[in-house]
Structure 1
Amino acid sequence: MPIPPEDRAPDRPPAGAVPPPQGDLPEPAPPATEAEPGPDTATGPAGAEDEYAAALKAVEDRWRRALADLDNLRKRHVRELDRERAAERARTAAALLPVIDNLELALDHAASDPGAIVEGVRAVRDQAVSILERLGYGRHAETGVPFDPSRHEVVGVVQDPDAEPNTVAQVLRPGYGEAERQLRPAAVTVAKRE
C-alpha cells in the first residue's frame, strides 16, 4: 500500500548543505471558521495549504539550484586555477631554456679557448638575472645601503671605519625580489661602530 504524500519524509538536502531559507515563505492563512464565511469558502483551508506547499516547493527548488550553481562554480574555479598554474610553470621554464642553451655552448667551446669561458659564463649569468627581473624578482647586491631586515640577512658584523654604522659592508649572496615578493634575502655583512 503506497504511503500518502503527507506522511512521506521530506527530501533531504545533500550532506553539508546550507538549510533552505525560511524568510521568503508566505505565512499560512488562519483556518476559516464557519461563523465567518469568506470569499475563499469554495477552496477552504486546503487551498491555503496548497498555496503554502507550492511556495515552499518553489523556494526549495531555488535553493537547490543555487547550491548546484555554487558547486559548478567551485569546480570551474579549480580547473581554471590548475590550468593557470600549468601555463605559468611552462612560461617560466621556457624563459630558462636560453640560459641552458648558452651554458651548453660555453661548455662546447671551453676546450678551444679556456679564457673565453669566464666571459661566456658571466654573459649567461647576466641573461639569467635579466629573466628573473622580467619575472618580477630584481637582483639586490648593493653595498653601502642601510641595513633592511626585510631585504637582508645578516651573516656577520664587521668593523669598517670607511662605512657608516648599520649599513651593508659586503654582499656575500645577492637577494632577489622585493620584501613582499621575495625569492630570498641578500646575505650580507653589516658595518658597526668601533
Structure 2
Amino acid sequence: MTDEMKKNGPDTAAEAAAETDASKEQDAAGAAEAETRAPDPIEQLQAENLDLRDRMLRLAAEMENLRRRTERDVKDARSYSVAGFARDMLAVSDNLRRALDAVPAEVLESADAGLKALVEGVDMTERSMLSALERHGVKKIECEGEKFDPNFHQAMFEVPNPNVPNNTVIQVVQAGYTIGERVLRPAMVGVAKGGPKPETVTVEPGTEAVNEKDA
C-alpha cells in the first residue's frame, strides 16, 4: 500500500481497487463486443455467394426474356413484312374482280372468242394473285352466314330479314383477309336486322332445363 493510500485511509484504497476492477471489466466487455461485431469470414463468403447467385439468376432470366422477344420479333418480321405489299395487291385484285363483274353473264355467253379469252385471262390473273398471297400467309375471311364479329367484319348496312338470326352476315361487299394471326383487311359486310332471337334455356330448381321454344 502506498503512502498516499495510507494517508487517505482504507476507504480511499478500496475505492481505487474497485475502479481498477471496473476498468478491467469494461476492457473485457469491449473486447467481447469487438469479437461479436467482427464478421465471420465463412458467413461473409456465404452471403457473397448468395448475392452472386441471385445476380446470376436475374441475368439468366433477362437473357431468356431477351431471346424470346428477339425470336418473336424475327417471326413477326417474317410474317408481316409483306403486309403493306399484300394490302396493295388486294386492291389490284379488287379491281380485277370489278372488271369481271362488270361483264354480264348473258353478254359473256354470246360474246366472241376474243372477249371470252380476255375475261378468262383476267379471272386467271386474279386467282393466281390470290394464290400467291395465300402462300405468304394471306387468307380470305369466310364470313357469309356467320355471326357478325367486329374483330373481322366491318358492317356497312343492315338488311331487314326475319328468316335469319339478328346480326348474321348475309352479304359481303368486299372480302376481308388475314395475314398470320392479324387482320390484314376487315370484310365489309351487310348484316341481318330483326331476325329471330337466339333460343334461350330456362332452368328452375329441381327441374330439368326447358327450351323456351318448346315450352
TM-score (structure 2 length as normaliser): 0.38
Find the structure with the greater CA-based Rg.
2
TM-score (structure 1 length as normaliser): 0.42
